[in-house]
Amino acid sequence: MQYYLLYKPFQVLSQFTSTDGKLCLKDIIEVEKDVYPVGRLDYDSEGLLLLTNDKKINHQLLHPSFEHKRTYWVQVDGAITQEAIQQLAKGVNISVDGKSYQTKPAKLSILPDTIEVPDRNPPIRYRKSIPTSWASIELIEGKNRQVRKMFAQVGFPVLRLIRAQIGEYTIEKMQPGDLIHLSELKLLT
């Protein structure tokens, strides 16, 4: 079995085939032909992506009954408030496939503005009169564009979204495009 950790860069599709001329995984990495990403990160999101040919791990990560932890660092438009953090922690209503969905409770914290993250290319827009802030959110579920929808629901649109951790695996010491081959992948909880 093959196991990889990838720091997926911003504006790269989480698949090996391109659509509409967008960059995809085959443009930035080379892995065995039977290795595929487990789960997705949106084109406009970045961070940790697992790749494998191990069907057991694939099932464990994608089936909703396995509530594995994933942590995201979120840069938002405006100075996020404790009230917004508390609302998000309890769960908020978002739209999933055109239906109202109550998100599960999450763990959140406000991160310092000095958080060290790799530069993004292109960088987020800078507006002198509107601050930005960072928060960390840990989820055990993964609905389509869930983090973006959650933060928008409490009035803080997402400017940058980085998946920092899946289970015990992190992007610590990684840069966008870095690919790490693992000899094994521990079961994720």
The average pLDDT across 90-97 equals 95
Question: Is residue 189 scored above 60 in pLDDT?
Answer: no
The candidate with the shortest Cα–Cα distance to 124, out of 6, 10, 8, is: 10
pLDDT value, residue 67: 75
pLDDT tens by residue, 119-161 = 888 888 777 778 899 999 999 888 889 999 999 999 999 999 9
Pair (60, 73) in one structural domain: no
Q: What is the DSSP string of 59-123?
A: HHHHSTTS---EEEEEEEES---HHHHHHHHH--EEEETTEEEEPPP-EEEEEPTT------SSP
Mean pLDDT of 46-51: 95
Q: Read off the CATH number of the domain in which 109 is found.
A: 3.30.70.1560
The residue range of the domain holding 151 is 69-166
Q: Are 152 and 123 members of one domain? A: yes
Beta bridge partners of 64: none
Kindly report the CATH number assigned to the domain that includes residue 45.
3.30.70.580
Q: How confident is the model at residue 59 (pLDDT cuts 50, 70, 90)?
A: confident
Catalytic positions: 42
Q: What is the pTM of this model?
A: 0.92
pLDDT band (50, 70, 90) for residue 9 = very high
CA distance 32 to 163: 24
pLDDT given for residue 65 in this prediction = 67
Q: What is the pLDDT of residue 50?
A: 93
Are 46 and 35 spatial neighbours (Cβ–Cβ below 8 Å)?
no
For residue 7, what is the enclosing H or E element?
strand 3-8
Residues 96 and 29 in one domain: no
